[in-house]
Amino acid sequence: MKENPRSINRLAAPIKGLAQRFAFMALVLTAFALMLWGKVDVATMERARTQVTDAVAPILDVISRPIDSIDLAINRAHDIYAVHEQNVQLRKDRDRLLHWQAAARRLEAENKVLRSLLNFVPGAEANFITGRVIADTGGAFIHSVILNAGARAGVRKGQAAVTGDGLVGRVAGVGTGSARVLLITDLNSRIPILVGPERTRAIMAGDNSERTKLIHLPSGATVEEGDRVVTSGHGGAFPVGLPVGVVVSVDDKGISVQPLVNRNRLEYVRVLDYGLRGIIQVPPKGTDTVEKDAAAAPAAVGAQQ
């Protein structure tokens, strides 16, 4: 072997080059085949994706913590800086909310009486599963986040993910310890909603931009700027009345909605478990409804003024 390494090289080099080229082409073809396979067999591909995500989730969980801490520190510094302004704003908000609270109390009492009149049976109450956002994925192409809570914590596919502001998205894939939430702004997101005081039915579709569009409105429906958009609960899975966004523009290009939830501020997300499975539609009523009616009522009060 040691005597003439050159002759071996002379023989091996072209073969090696050929093998490398062949391997390269094989990889390209494999990538292409995977693309097509993902289109045909969505379930298998999603399972594989979930398993890999599950395996990487602990790493993401650990390295996203310091970032969250830094973010928290920055926010805190900002809060101190803006404390005076915030105080003024909060006082204003407090006055306004007291007015709303009065309206809500009155409606709650009225609601209670009407319910007893109708022998109303409250539906299931929601359970919350709170998860931390450990990855904000996809860049310009996919709008989704990964949570560090999965099937072990009770997260199921199709459940609604919310923050205090409103709807974030839908659980699209669940692993044992992680879940992928497809945001409402994603290209593939289609959510049945109700818009405006008329509660017009429509579908809200994402297109990977910051805002979403309303489609499939019934003919003759009027939607105005400033109308609130809430989930309709049609099609199961999602509870009715979750706040989603506000209509910001109505023109020839369509109806544009600004979601209430800011993707960049997502840190903790609650996944709602109403026990809905998308087949039997149980409108979620109960304690939650009181809050929702209360939230809707001042809007009506405001409209009258």
Partner 1 sequence: MKRGFWNRLDILTRQSTPFLLTLALVIINQLPLHIPGFSQVMPLLPLMAIYHWAMFRPELMPAHAVFIVGLMQDVLSGTPVGINALVYLAVYGTVLSQERFFSGKSFVVVWLGFGLIAAAATVAVWALVSAWYAAIVAPQAVIFQYLLTIGFFPVVVWVFLRWQRGVLGSV
Taking the complex as a whole, how short is the minimal distance between the CB of residue 49 and partner 1, in angstroms? Answer: 5
Taking the complex as a whole, how short is the minimal distance between the CB of residue 59 and partner 1, in angstroms? Answer: 6
Which of 133, 171, 229, 296 contacts partner 1 by CB under 8 A?
A: 133
Query: Is residue 255 close enough to count as binding partner 1 by CB under 8 A?
Result: no
**What residues have CB less than 8 Å from 276, skipping those under 6 apart?**
124, 236, 237, 238, 239, 282, 284
Judged by beta carbon, residue 171 or residue 297, the one nearer partner 1 is 171
Which of 144, 212, 232, 256 contacts partner 1 by CB under 8 A?
A: 144
Judged by beta carbon, residue 20 or residue 127, the one nearer partner 1 is 20
Angle between helices 83-118 and 42-81 (to 10 degrees): 130
Query: Is residue 155 close enough to count as binding partner 1 by CB under 8 A?
Result: no
Which of 86, 111, 115, 142 contacts partner 1 by CB under 8 A?
A: 142
Query: Is residue 45 close enough to count as binding partner 1 by CB under 8 A?
Result: yes
Between CA 213 and CA 266 the distance in angstroms is 21
How big is the CA angle at 174 (ends 172 and 178), to the nearest 5 degrees?
115
Between CA 184 and CA 129 the distance in angstroms is 19
Spatial CA neighbour of 68 closest among 266, 227, 289, 279 = 266
Which of 12, 18, 28, 113 contacts partner 1 by CB under 8 A?
A: 28
Contacting range for partner 1; rule: CB under 8 A; set: 6-14, 67-75, 103-111, 243-251 = 67-75
Query: Is residue 56 close enough to count as binding partner 1 by CB under 8 A?
Result: yes
Q: How many CA atoms lie within 13 A of 249 on its CB side?
A: 8
Taking the complex as a whole, how short is the minimal distance between the CB of residue 60 and partner 1, in angstroms? Answer: 7
Q: With 0-12 CB in 10 A as exposed, 13-18 as middle and 19+ as buried, what is 1?
A: exposed
Contacting range for partner 1; rule: CB under 8 A; set: 29-37, 191-199, 246-254, 287-295 = 29-37
